[in-house]
Chain A
Amino acid sequence: MIKIERRDETSNLIYFLTPVLAIFLTLVTGAIIFYLLGFKPLEALKFFFITPISDLYGLSELLIKATPLCLIAIGLSFCFKSNNWNIGAEGQLTFGGIVGGGVALLFYNHEGFYVLPLIILAGAIGGMIFAMIPAILKIYFNTNEILVSLMLVYVSKLLLDYLVVGPWSNPEGFNFPETRQFSDSARLPILFEGLRIHAGIFIALVSVILAWVVLFKTYLGFQIKVSGLSLKTAKYAGFKGKTMILLVFMISGACAGLAGVGEITGPIGQLHRMISPEYGFTAIIVAFLGRLNPIGIVFASLIVALTYLGAETAQIFLQVPKYTGQVFQGMILFFLLASDFLLFFRIKFLGFKKYEY
């Protein structure tokens, strides 16, 4: 007999262990799927999760992928913690990329130390402004931020499409849908020769530390926490609810914008249609896997980044489509939500005794 009981108190240990359980279950299910597809499960998992990071180049690629995920998830954690459901980080990333890229194109034949900071700032502001749209609509017209932010993703993606095909396309580019290459001053410096890892990682690390301080040590963080737990209490305490909605969206948008600008000034070096393999959506999984905690998000972003790399390796060695990566991301979220059940309930194994009341 199995009996399910409500827990009196959710323990902190379980709170951070359930993500580990979710990852474990994902691996087990992944193994089963590979087996059903006719691969040796352990070997396939090895190709997926170990081969990609078995050399320095792999590790550097992992960090390159983890950087935007971590940045966006940090920003999203401000929104999610305060009960604001910003689903449109992908759009904010794209818009940040557009604005930052625009500035970069403006300076395409300039050299100077001021170029890169300007581009980064422009990207952050771009993401921020784009995130303010759902926030303002929510505040003044009571619209649903989930829908508005999500739909704006397609607006910004189509805008990017138009720009790289039309007005911003490279005049010497034979009509390929891409812009000029940015000047060297507009590129994030490479950290190690031969590897692609770039200085964007520092932006992510600084944002992790800042987020931790703000969330746990400031009045703003306290207000975000209270609003997330009980909007009624936040109202009673007199927190300025509308200002806070705007603020968390701005933070979140700025982070996504930074991620976008980090991509185009980092590994990509120009604007084209595919500046992000849906980092903005995947970061939602990262934020929850990291329990909306900045430190947790660092680990979560590494794990989820690995699914991107694994998918590429698996594509090469196992000839499975790269969308397998998304299957793994989906499974992680699924198992995470399912194992959250354990936060509030405990399962008791009573053996095969008869039920007694």
Chain B
Amino acid sequence: MHKVFIVIPAYKEENSISSVIKGLKKEGYKDIVVVDDCSPDSTSKKAEDAGAIVLKHIINRGQGASLRTGTDYALRHGAEIIVHFDADGQHNPKEIKDIIKPIIAGKADAALGSRFLGKRSNVPFTKKIVLKLGIMFTFIFSGVWLTDTHNGFRALSRDAAKRIEITQDRMAHASEIIDQIRKKRIRYTEVPVTITYTSYSIEKGQSAMNSIRIAARLIWSKYIR
């Protein structure tokens, strides 16, 4: 049995975090790391009560920073596979076994979830356009053609998790991870996953306007700085 760590970055997720952790426990995952990014609500307490390991950022540093905090913790505690999972309930815990399968089989070191492969997700129209633009942007920016580039559901082998260094503290980390996978020649594969859109997860997601800011941020870090 591989030691699988589930890393969940959470900010103001008191409404969903308990059920997400319970869902993961039901699937038999024990090493659940919630990184509370200085939420002003009771996210930490809810996560702790639900039985997760809770790491607290003493000041808000963003989702990318939280992911890396959780990943670092997992690596220090002997994780063999690290799964990045969302706190808002849009990922399905039953699909973790699918996403870690290529890593267990030794076929890839990074398995990236895709909502546009096989399985049907009820992606809202505007969201779909933004995501498709994101795919094109990633192709131009990193030279990788993926079917879904901005999906927070991914699994990394210990080796890949060590090599990928997330420096984008805010939302640009998703593109940054792909960029590093390409640059560091990490073997990757895409795995079909479903994303459940609820009014809650849509509200907590990224707006179209924000995507432009994220793109500008990436270009700045890669070429100008």
Are A and B part of the same complex? Answer: no
B interface list, Cβ under 8 A from A: none
